[in-house]
Chains A and B, each alone.
Chain A
Amino acid sequence: MKKGLEFKGLKFLYIVIIAYIVLFFIEQKNALLSLQKALDIFYQLLPIFLFIILIMTLINYFLRPKQIIKHFGKESGAKGVIYALLAGIISHGPMYAWYGMIQELREQGAKDSLLITFFYARAIKIPMLPFMLGIFGLAFTLILSFYILLFAVIQGVVMDWLEE
């Protein structure tokens, strides 16, 4: 039998839809406002979805399990950590938009510790840096970025230790 599409988070979506329906009957104004905010977020995410499809296509095409294991696998060493940090820094959009791709990497043999490092390094948002600099200044931005990268690596080390 051919396997159909396996949607993720259907139950979660149903719960949110029910929450909106309940909210609509209790506070119609806020329900509509919430829906408007959600739609605004969705429209903002559309270009990011295209970017993610592009990245995932490139990964599917160029990165084979052997190559991924080489960079993110058990023998990847320090090079894997550097790849994870760089990937985290250059990735865009909200974390949940990347879940599918990350799970795919896991299934292809990527190390959990490097994925943890990747996730934390995502806290550095390159497009947002000018904004952060404007509000918090150069010293704060540099120090915060340094500690984010340091703790991204530390988290990976701890995750490795937890998995042993």
Chain B
Amino acid sequence: MGIRYDLKRSRRKVARKAATQYERLDERGRFWALRGVTLRVESGESLAVIGPNGAGKSTLLKVLAGIIAPDEGTAEVRGSIATLLKLEAGFDDELNAEENILLVGEYLGIPAPEMRRRIPEILEFADIGEFSNAPARTYSAGMRARLGFSVATSIEPDVLLLDEVLSTGDEAFKEKSRKRMVDLMKKARAIVYVTHDLDAAEEFCTRAIQIENGRVIADGTASDVIGAYRKRSLK
């Protein structure tokens, strides 16, 4: 019983040499977004992933979500997964809110009746009012984000993968979504939360890792790792 990540040394080839740090290129000139990462998240843990932009945090989430496969080593996840990598995942501009909710449900492989049952709740939480009958292209950025957040968080997963989502929408929605996140984090068996918001990471997570240049450079309790990271970046 439990959720296990056995992520060892995943890599990502990108022909983006111009903007690349040389230490992340291998002898054949390939770019390793992540390398030599060994990590195991147990059931009941919530892991914060911190580090500067371009460190490989989001790539780690994509590997865990099954979107990209590791080129080196293996990654395993046990249990159902919900991902909030970017909001508005999978929305089609020409479909209305209800149709988009069903579409995302189909992408995720959730049975249609179950998804249909959740529609009222999702729409209520997203609070997009009359626009729910209009095609998604007419939505404001905030509305799209709210709908995306509501859809993704309406699913009760074993494993929750989050990429910087608490900073969505206006203050009122932020407060509401914060509450829901806490709820979800209580229900999910394991959480991996990529963020720059150190306060939130400290509040929600039990453990933290710091990634830099594609490698894990710190791993420990959230307060330790985040405390050390704060000190370093202040210097």
A and B associate: no
Q: A-side interface residues toward B, CB under 8 Å?
A: none
